Structure 1
Amino acid sequence: MNIKKELWKEIDNRKEQLIDLCCQLIKMPTENPPGEMEDITEFICKYLEKFGVENKVHRPKPNKPNIVAKYGNEKGKKLIFNGHADVVPAGDLSKWDFDPYCGKVKDGKILGRGTSDMKAGLGGVIFVMGLLAEKKIPLDGQMFLTVVPDEEISGELGTKWIVENNIVTGDACVVAEPTGYDNCEVGQRGTLWVNLKAEGTSAHGSLSPYVGDNAIEKLIKVLEGIKCLTKLHGEYEGEVKEVIKESKIAAKECLNKPGVENIIDHVTVNIGQIKGGTKTNMVPDSAQADVDIRIPLGVSTQRVIDNIDKVIEDLNLKGITYTYSWRSEPNNVSINSEIVKAVKRNTKDVLGIDISATYQWASSDARYFRSAGIPTIQYGPANTEGIHSYNETVDVKDVINAAKVYAGMVLDMLVYD
């Protein structure tokens, strides 16, 4: 029996330990905001130290702990695994069928906030790293694990900071974000957040529209114009064209809404927040809105900005100002890269299926690694219906299989004898 099969057998033998580790992570309420990460950071570090895994915590600011752990031979290739410890808030507890931080197993599923996004994937990587170190598996390269505190609020002091400060560099990266057992994600859309402000002139509400200048009405005109950005789309050829096609099929099957496949190759616009005015019987003299624009491969953020400029210029309205905050370009990795081949090969061996490679309709910290020239994929266990919603779960069998895939990828990428 070769090393890979021995490790897979060991994961099966210790599956209860793996699932318990994931449950322990889920029981820690690491909602972001507020983003209290010290307890889970201490827990992960102590777990790794039990197996002799070298690790260090980097804090760009107080209560922003980034764990960097490593195992293997530093002279060879470097394979990074990345995960985030923070989760989105549980929200209205009355809408949950169970305690979101129970971390219990029921009917073959782990229950709780963060099970799919992404403490089960993270737990799988932590478990595999500990197992490799305990078994003293010889690697011709080095496995890294980065655990960051703020992916759910854009990753500025987590992965972005780690990459920009060269805390970790590597030849390839696996982000254990939720993809489902039968898919790996090889690209994602870009993002542009826009804050729009409209200034008007106040007056008594009974005099509108003859007296005063209604800021809300002006803002609505701008928002209607910006919604036309959804007509923008990319043009594709070769490999990207094929992945786009596969991604549109996956989106349609997963989301099951008419026309939803257009999110893959078209710009999307979401008016996320809007507020304005002072009182019902007053003409509002100010209003503002925050808009989330997602941008597919084949369209740049600058092209979108140019279109927004044109929309506002053509409307010729006084008192309109706007600024941009989160701005990231669409990004991807070739499906012919070594890291993609490795995940496909190991899922084939573990699950007996050929997984798809698709582009993600949202975004993640993968973009920071790709921007640094590191070929990066996402692969992790998930039940998508609970992500960022209520009653989040993950299947136990998917967690176990994902851990096997991670272990196999380490051995394939960091050549062993």
Structure 2
Amino acid sequence: MLSIAQELLSEIDRHRAHYVTFLQDFIRAASPNPPGDTTAAAKVIKDFLLSENVKPDIVEPLAHAPNIVADFDGGQGPGPRVVLNGHIDTFPVEKPEEWDKGPFSGHNDGESIHGRGGVDMKAGTAALVIAFTLLMKRASMMTGSVALTAVSDEETGGKWGTRYLLEHSGTPSRWAGDVVLNGEPGGLQSIRFGEKGTLRMTFVVKTPGANGAYKHVSRGANIIASKLIIKLLEIEHLRPELPDELRRYLGSEDVRKVADDIMGSGAADILLQPTVNIGTMHGGVKVNVIPEQCVFEADIRLPIGMAARVVLDRIDEILKDVPEASYEVQTAASNPANYCTYDHLLAKSITKWAEQVTGQRPVQLAGLGGTDCKFYRYAGIPAYVYGPSPQGMGAQGEKVSIDEFISLIKVHTLAVWDYLGTSQEDQAA
């Protein structure tokens, strides 16, 4: 007699082609954000759920950006509530004419599915949707409950997506849960238990301006801004205040190797330091005029253990020598770094099944970029990311590995079953 775990793995393999078609349809339903219209992609999810006898609810604070939600209770009594969280919207497309297969082709070349959002994060979201349907079929043998939240608006902050669900669905929110599994790209070699924060700022440099030959009247705002930018790079030398155990863990050779393997050489170093990126500078209209104003944006990534106030205090010190400059924090686009325990039972279940399915034992890492997991962690709810390789996400020619997609379905499903299931055969195993 097959165990439930074996039964699940067999069912996933039998329906491999069906699940790949679902992912193709999902990618073909364009949902770039901005502009953020996810209605077509949300319908693909809704139709798939209905075909699997799941009747989802639609929460749409914005008519063009619906959130697809569903949940079920286990039949074996009280237990934890697991939330499966993924987003529907994608990074926008630039120069669609330069894509070999087209940005929304969903082309299957036998190894990968091509199209914008395959990596970030339609493969992960589709895998969670499929896992939900497989688990719901076995609800009678599970404790606790499982919720699915396929949301819009992640790429532009989450105000109308995950954050909205957590803030407008009761107290506590129906969609909060006790622990979260998310499928953002992170690589099958890792589980993400935290992520760097963002401090987004707008700087304005103002000077009197003058004719280009009259530099004795005023130095140009662009020149002052350029010098200021060089000074801002000093922020990258600040160091976070981390608990000793976490610092040792993130600095260990195993963790550093996996971080560099997944995200590129040097990634392990910037996990523990702030980084500064400068957006386009705007200042001046003619080359022979000393510009009186320059505006630029800074995107500063804060490592775990570093508060925004530490960076702002350093910037305030720098600006004492640059009286022409001022700044404004873009509050809506700024979020603290966040992390949760890496010793949670669900994380252990993810590790167990990832190793069995892929042959690789994943290492727990912090991510460089932001995800909707931050909203759960801010609320004290542990949240874990297990998703495909981040290679190519948001880039021209984005594509996702079919084998990785199928592995995600298996790991997501089996990890939650391992955490909530009560099958005697599986417990004996």
TM-score, normalization by structure 2: 0.91
Compute the displacement of 1:150 (Å): 1.2
Aligned residue pairs total 413
Equivalent residue letter for 2:378: S
Q: Which residue of structure 2 aligns with residue 140 of structure 1?
A: 143
- List aligned pairs for 1:57-136, cutoff 5 A: 57-73=58-74, 75-134=78-137
Distance 1:408 1:240, change over 3 A: farther
Q: C-alpha distance in 1, partners of 2:301/2:209? A: 35
Contact 1:248–1:264, Cα closer than 8 Å, also in 2: no
Partner residue of 1:251?
A: 259
Q: Which residue of 2 aligns with 1:407?
A: 413
CA distance in 2, matches of 1:133, 1:254: 33
Please give the secondary structure, in 2, of the residue aligned with 1:104.
coil
1: CA distance, partners of 2:87 / 2:57:
16
With 315-324 and 42-51 compared, the bigger mean Cα shift is at 315-324
Partner residue of 2:280 out of 264, 273, 276: 273
Output the CA distance in 1 between the equivalents of 2:28 and 2:322. Answer: 54
SS in 1 for 2:347: helix
8 Å Cα contact 1:77/1:141 also seen in 2: yes
Shift of 1:137: 5.2
**8 Å contact from structure 1 (residues 51, 134) kept in 2:** no
Q: 2:110, 2:251 → 1: CA distance?
A: 36
Aligned equivalents of 1:254, 1:47: Cα separation in 2: 32
Q: Which residue of 1 aligns with 2:28?
A: 27
Aligned residue for 1:398?
404
Q: Distance in 1 between matches of 2:103 and 2:210?
A: 49
What is residue 163 of structure 2 aligned with on the other side?
Answer: 160
Give the drift of 1:205. 1.6
CA distance in 2, matches of 1:59, 1:380: 26
TM-score (norm 1): 0.93
- Matched letter for residue 96 of structure 2: L
Q: Classify 1:131/1:321 alpha carbon distance in 2 versus 1 (closer, same or farther; 3 Å).
A: closer
Deviations 1:82-106 (A, max 9, x none): 1111111221234423212111211
Question: Which region of structure 1 is more displaced relative to structure 2, 95-104 or 9-18?
Answer: 95-104
> Deviation of residue 213 (structure 1)?
4.8
Give the one of 238, 241, 245 matched to 2:248.
241
Residues 224 and 47 (structure 1 numbering): CA distance in 2 closer, same or farther, change over 3 Å?
same
CA RMSD between the two structures:
1.9
Structure 1 Cα separation of the partners of residues 127 and 315 of structure 2: 43
Change beyond 3 A, Cα 1:279–1:126: same
Residues 118-151 of structure 1 show CA distances to partners (whole Å, capped at 9, x for unaligned) of 1111111112222333466532221111111111
The 1:350–1:316 alpha-carbon spacing in structure 2 relative to 1, beyond 3 Å, is: closer
In terms of mean alpha carbon deviation, does 20-29 or 394-403 score higher?
394-403
In structure 2, the gaps of 5 or more residues are: 424-429
1:301 aligns with 2:308: yes
1:212 shift after superposition = 3.5
2:386 counterpart (379, 384, 388)? 379
Offset at residue 195 of structure 1 (A): 0.5
**Contact 1:339–1:375, Cα closer than 8 Å, also in 2:** no
With 212-221 and 34-43 compared, the bigger mean Cα shift is at 212-221
> Aligned partner of 2:334: which letter?
R
Is the CA contact (8 Å cut-off) linking 1:198 and 1:320 kept in structure 2? yes
Distance 1:53 1:102 in 2: 28
Partner-residue secondary structure (3-state), 2:56: strand
Bigger CA drift: 5-14 or 120-129? 120-129
Q: Deviations over 1:297-335 (max 9, x none)?
A: 12111111111111112x142353433332211111222
Please name the residue that 1:263 is paired with.
270
Q: Does the C-alpha gap of structure 1 residues 217 and 291 become closer, same or farther in structure 2, counting only changes over 3 Å?
A: same
